Amino acid sequence: MLLQGKTAIITGSSRGIGRQIAISMAEAGANVVINYRSGTEAAEEVKSLLEAKGLTNVLLFQGSVDDKEAMEAMAKATVERFGGIDILVNNAGILLPKFLMMTKPDEWDQSLNVNLTGVYNCIKASLRPMIERKCGRIVNVSSVASLSGIPGQAAYATTKAGLNGLTRVLSKELAGFGITVNALAPGFIETDMTAIFNEKKTKEYYDMIPLKKFGKPEDIANMAVFLASDQGQYITGQIIAIDGGLSV
């Protein structure tokens, strides 16, 4: 199994893409930490689903990624339970579907706090155990919005473009410690995040995508597992679009 004996923290993994990454990593043999902010019932459902498959190395951890102390406590609890941290997937994110002119200052701040400062908090909290072992994998979930300007996603695109910058810098800063850092840039994926689009908008987006459909969480999870495994050991600093050709 690709991730046998590894330990992975996946932020925002009670639903959507994060949920599938947690499931796929557990199925690949990893101990998984399912971080969630408020969806206790959904997080417990993922844990039960994995346990029903005989995958019992699951830790649920409630905490918002923009809460620095909570993320430090999550890293500590992970090391206590599983002995280390091998993989960090920074998946938690929020989409503010607004034009810049309509974006209020507190909405702008909230986007930055969750999508960028949240990643900073999680990386800072998880780095020491990776550095000590001279081995680690960081996978940041960015977005196609960081690659092409999609109107109505000003704050969101700004945060995801920032995440791409952080990914590139960290890949160089951490290479000497045996840690790879990559970002996934999903296009439109079928989750609660894209369920907000009405039929007309969805059709407009389909027309823009060469493969003429939205992707599934599995499309993102497969790449996350690959990058986190030994098979991805020579890939770092990359922003990998998984978008049906949207960004081409």
Site string for ligand NAD, 141-180 (x = CB under 6 A): x-x-------------------------------------
Shortest CB 177 distance to ligand NAD, Å = 25
Residues contacting 158, CB < 8 A, separation 6+: 111, 112
Residue 82 is a binding residue for ligand NAD (CB under 6 A): no
> Is there a contact between 208 and 154 (Cβ–Cβ < 8 Å)?
no
Shortest CB 5 distance to ligand NAD, Å = 26
Residue 94 is a binding residue for ligand NAD (CB under 6 A): yes
Residue 93 is a binding residue for ligand NAD (CB under 6 A): yes
Site string for ligand NAD, 196-235 (x = CB under 6 A): ----------------------------------------
State the Cα–Cα distance between residues 234 and 212, nearest whole angstrom: 32
Q: Give the CA distances from residue 109 to residues 20, 117, 146, 156, 166, in Å, rounded to whole numbers and listed in that order.
A: 28, 10, 18, 11, 18
Intra-chain end-to-end CA distance of the chain, in Å: 33
What are the start-end ranges of the H helices in the chain? 16-27, 40-52, 68-82, 105-112, 118-133, 154-175, 199-208, 217-228
The contact set with ligand NAD (CB under 6 A) reads 11-12, 14-18, 36-37, 39, 64-66, 91-95, 114, 118, 141, 143, 186, 188-189, 191-194
Which residues are the active-site residues?
156
